[in-house]
């Protein structure tokens, strides 16, 4: 199986989130995330898995929707999100936050870890049926979470 690996300065975003551990709640904090994608599949008649530009364009587009947002986990057992008219009221670890809706991205996961953000990005990429993708999201140098998606996205 052949593959391509793509990354670029534009495959990045800055966002804030909360992390809940087994016995702790981290305060609201942010990262300058970087994204890398590895696409595997058959070669086309030109000898390419796919054009680098195509996957980069898609990844940059997804990153643009996450950029400068507060990432909220829709299915968290520890974080309560109340959908108000123009805001989200968020409760975590005895603290309450109010965020304007346009400053938030609610993700369909129980947490906003690098691993689950990678899964979200992988799910947004449009690939052919017989291709797979591995997306890695780094919060900082040496702290990376990945997700392997097989088949159609």
pLDDT single digits (tens) 108-141: 999 999 999 999 999 999 988 789 999 999 999 9
Residue of 71, 59, 63, 61 lying closest to 13 (CA atoms)? 63
**pLDDT confidence of 73, banded at 50, 70, 90?**
very high
Per the CB < 8 A criterion, the answer to whether 144 and 136 are in contact is yes
Predicted structure pTM score: 0.93
- How far apart CA 134 and CA 146 sit, in angstroms, is 7
Task: Indicate the length of the chain as a whole number.
Answer: 153
Give the model's pLDDT for residue 153. Answer: 43
Q: List domains and CATH numbers for the chain.
A: 2-75+104-149 (3.30.479.10)
Judged against a pLDDT cut of 80, whether residue 152 lies above it is answered with no
The encoded tokens of residue 1 equal 């199986």
The values of phi and psi at residue 31, to 5°, are: -140, 160
User: Which 3-state string (H, E, C) describes the chain?
Assistant: CEEEEEEEEEEEEEEEECCECCCCECCCEEEEEEEEEEEEECCCCCCCCCCHHHHHHHHHHHHHHHCCEEEEECCCCCEEEEECCCEEEEEECCEEEEEEHHHEEEECCCCCCHHHHHHHHHHHCCCCCCCEEEEEEEEECCEEEEEEECCCC
Percent of the chain with pLDDT over 90: 86
pLDDT single digits (tens) 4-60: 999 999 999 999 999 887 778 888 999 999 999 999 999 999 999 999 999 999 999
The values of phi and psi at residue 71, to 5°, are: -90, 125
Give the model's pLDDT for residue 151. Answer: 59
């Amino acid at each position: 199986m052949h593959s391509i690996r793509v990354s670029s300065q534009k495959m990045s975003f800055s966002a804030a989130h909360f992390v809940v551990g087994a016995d702790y709640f981290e305060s609201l904090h942010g990262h300058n995330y970087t994204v890398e994608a590895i696409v595997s599949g058959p070669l086309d008649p030109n000898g390419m898995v796919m054009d680098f530009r195509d996957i980069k364009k898609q990844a940059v587009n997804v990153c643009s929707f996450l950029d400068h947002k507060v990432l909220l986990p829709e299915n968290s057992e520890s974080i309560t999100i109340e959908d108000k008219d123009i805001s989200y009221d968020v409760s975590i670890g005895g603290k309450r936050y109010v965020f304007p809706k346009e400053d938030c991205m609610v993700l369909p996961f129980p947490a906003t870890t690098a691993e689950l953000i990678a899964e979200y990005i992988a799910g947004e990429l449009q690939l052919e049926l017989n291709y797979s993708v591995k997306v890695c999201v780094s919060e900082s140098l040496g702290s990376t979470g990945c997700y392997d998606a097989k088949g159609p996205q």
